[in-house]
């Protein structure tokens, strides 16, 4: 409700599907890209000045346009440049370095899991329509897509496999989850 009172802002955004990379500008009143993509009733994004490119070659297929992008087809999205974050986490979480597979893309980065007695329980509780990955690097070598970096990459959960390396250090409780803890997204 308070978001309706916020002024609209423009976010330069890159989205990826299995065959397309789309760059454009998203106009929203929401503060976080995570909130935009996890809106329960949203089925698409409308981008302004959108450019559609082939994955790998980055050959431009369609030039600057107003575009409707279907969220079900999206593999990932990220804003260009640094991301803003809220000052407090909604729930204490721990960062875990992992590999995520959203074919044809491979992503390395940190996911943020809730504290649970066991890692598999935290992974089972890891949810949301789009998953946040911080300090992310993504590529698709099979289609000649070179590595790219994003401070925050959001992956379509329904199209992503999560692989946490064996032997990762797991803590059952937060060390410091006080008011000063920051939210990575």
Query: In the chain, where are the structural domains located?
Result: 2-79, 93-163
Give the tens place of pLDDT for each residue, 12-39: 999 999 999 999 999 998 888 888 898 8
Give me the CATH topology for the region 93-163: SH3 type barrels. (2.30.30)
Closest by CA to 185, choosing from 37, 72, 70, is 37
Q: What is the pLDDT of residue 142?
A: 87
Tell whether pTM > 0.85: no
Q: 166 pLDDT exceeds 60?
A: yes
Q: What is the pLDDT of residue 81?
A: 64
Backbone angles phi, psi at 111, to 5 degrees: -100, 160
**3.40.640.10, 2.30.30.100, 3.20.20.220, 2.40.480.10: CATH of 2-79:** 2.30.30.100
Give the tens place of pLDDT for each residue, 107-138: 999 999 988 888 888 888 877 899 999 999 99
Type and span of the H or E element at 125? helix 119-125
**Distance linking the first and last C-alpha atoms of the chain:** 21
Closest by CA to 120, choosing from 70, 84, 170, 79, is 170
């Amino acid at each position: 409700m308070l978001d309706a009172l916020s002024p609209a802002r423009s976010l330069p955004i890159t989205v990826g599907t299995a065959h397309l990379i789309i760059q454009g500008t998203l106009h929203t009143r929401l503060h976080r890209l995570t909130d935009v993509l996890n809106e329960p009733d949203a089925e698409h994004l409308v981008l302004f000045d959108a450019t559609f490119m082939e994955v790998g070659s980055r050959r431009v297929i369609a030039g600057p346009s107003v575009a409707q992008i279907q969220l079900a087809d999206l593999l990932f999205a990220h804003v260009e440049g640094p991301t803003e974050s809220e000052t407090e986490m909604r729930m204490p979480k721990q960062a875990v370095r992992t590999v995520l597979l959203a074919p044809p893309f491979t992503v390395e980065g940190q996911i943020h899991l809730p504290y649970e007695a066991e890692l598999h329980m935290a992974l089972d509780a890891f949810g949301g329509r789009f998953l946040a990955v911080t300090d992310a690097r993504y590529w698709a070598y099979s289609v000649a897509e070179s590595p790219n970096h994003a401070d925050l990459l959001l992956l379509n959960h329904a199209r992503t496999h999560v692989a946490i390396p064996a032997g990762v250090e797991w803590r059952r409780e937060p060390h410091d989850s006080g008011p000063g803890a920051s939210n990575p997204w």
